[in-house]
Amino acid sequence: MKLYTYDEAPNPKRITYFIKHKGIEIDTVQIDMMKGEHLNASFKEINPLATLPTLITDEGELLTEVIGICCYLEAHFPEKLLMGNSAIEKAQVISWDHRIFMEGFSAIAETLRNKSPAFVNRALPGPLDIPQIPELISRGELRASHFFTVLDQHLASREFMVGDSMSLADIDALTFIGFAKWIKLRIPEECENLTNYHKRMKTLLG
């Protein structure tokens, strides 16, 4: 299999943590998003969506979504399960992954991509050029700030996002906290549960 990635970007980072935690090695190609390499025709031939991460499986199948790539890797490398140890945990990991992506990542991206000159006409990832909408900047900030408190409340009585071991949901939460800095948002002082959790996760996943 071959992984196309860009270490600095948040969605690729989720796969980096996943692979590192499992202790597996995958043939990896860096695509420099800062130089726009993901928009080159040669990369679009590999992934027409022009997004990273991208995994080409040993069977030659294209996987473009982090969640799909993680499902595939979990099935191939079942040591150190990261997507739940039981039926309910599997459901909870997927549910949190979905919420963190929809309510956390997309909120940050809403601000970043509608604000930064680097994303003029690239307000959404993908093959289409989409204009920025400045009105969305403050909405994204509001949504992302609120999501810190969602995570903080969830972690009031838990060490991990799901069950009692590391999962993809923790990888997503840690990556959300790091990505938030891109729009100058940091864990609010009053979110003590999240602050302590962040310290623990950085040590475990770091």
Binding site for ligand GSH (CB under 6 A): 9-11, 38, 51-52, 65-66, 122, 125
Residue 104 Cβ, how far from ligand GSH at the closest point, in Å?
13
Task: Reply yes or no: is the peptide bond before residue 10 cis, omega within 30 of 0.
Answer: no
Q: Which is nearer to ligand GSH, 10 or 140 (CB)?
A: 10
Residue 91 Cβ, how far from ligand GSH at the closest point, in Å?
19
Residue 81 Cβ, how far from ligand GSH at the closest point, in Å?
20
Q: Which is nearer to ligand GSH, 113 or 198 (CB)?
A: 113
Q: Which is nearer to ligand GSH, 68 or 188 (CB)?
A: 68
Beta bridge partners of 28: 3
Residue 146 Cβ, how far from ligand GSH at the closest point, in Å?
21
Interacting residues of 49 by C-beta distance below 8 A, sequence separation 6+: 64, 125, 126, 127
Taking alpha carbons only, the member of 51, 122, 147 closest to residue 155 is: 147
In whole angstroms, what is the distance from residue 64 CA to residue 150 CA? 28
In whole angstroms, what is the distance from residue 138 CA to residue 115 CA? 10
Q: Which is nearer to ligand GSH, 29 or 88 (CB)?
A: 29
In whole angstroms, what is the distance from residue 164 CA to residue 158 CA? 8
